[in-house]
Amino acid sequence: MKKCVHSLIFICWLLFAMAAKAQQYYAANIYSESGASGNSVYMMPNVFPAELIDGDTVACMYLHDFVKYSPVHFRNNKEQVKYTKLMRDVKKTLPYAKEIAGIIIETYEYMETLPDDKARQKHLEAMEKHLFEVYMPKMKKLTRSQGQLLMKLVDRETHSSSYHIIDAFMGSAKAWSYNLFASLFGNSLKERYDPYGNDRMTERACVLAEQGVI
């Protein structure tokens, strides 16, 4: 029962996020220091953008940052078990967080194109129905700790706390009531993701998962 209620809390605030979509550039105009001009071409089958510079084809590839962490030293078996569990939970919930954040951004951007509040409300109701159908079975399979972790990871992806999200879109009264309801199950919608503080080990696990290490 607690899992179900926790899932309902999560999906309620999920619909109302406000996040800016960052633009990513993986290639730019590249010229030699001598000032030689080039023409863009594409190399198949991997479709790398490239430049023709002085008759040579130079591939242009965007390389993501690679973070190398030092080994973790555990003081006892309890710490090692806790770390292993965190790695497992992040690997399970991070893909959900990224998928949910993408839906949130797309929904917000689409709502900006709607003419009035009535149309926006209609769209939100349709999205709510869709998300309940798609995500409720997945949320029911999460443990309580995994559900709490998922909320933080969505904060990581959207840079918005769930309390701020609800307050911005539904008003302070509903934000307060949802937070009070969440507190009955040991959660706080005001709690933020802190990658350099309390959540530094979670951030480590996220980075390792994104790099394909775990």
* Tens of pLDDT, residues 116-156: 888 888 887 887 788 788 888 888 889 989 988 988 998 99
Question: What DSSP assignment string belongs to 71-83?
Answer: PP--SSHHHHHHH
Q: What is the pLDDT of residue 45?
A: 52
- The answer to whether 104 touches 14, Cβ cutoff 8 Å, is yes
Q: Indicate the pLDDT class of residue 13, thresholds 50, 70 and 90.
A: very low
- Helix or strand or coil: residue 36? coil
Range with the poorest average pLDDT among 27-31, 63-67, 90-94, 118-122:
27-31
Phi-psi region of 31 (alpha: psi -120 to 50; beta: other; left: phi over 0): beta
Range with the poorest average pLDDT among 1-5, 16-20, 113-117, 128-132:
16-20
pLDDT of 10 > 80? The answer is: no
Q: What is the pLDDT of residue 75?
A: 94
* CA neighbor of 178 nearest in space, from 3, 23, 1, 16: 16
pLDDT of 61 > 50? The answer is: yes
Q: Report pTM.
A: 0.69
The residue ranking higher by pLDDT, 15 or 112, is: 112
Q: Indicate the pLDDT class of residue 46, thresholds 50, 70 and 90.
A: low
The residue ranking higher by pLDDT, 192 or 44, is: 192
Q: Indicate the pLDDT class of residue 42, thresholds 50, 70 and 90.
A: very low
The residue ranking higher by pLDDT, 153 or 48, is: 153
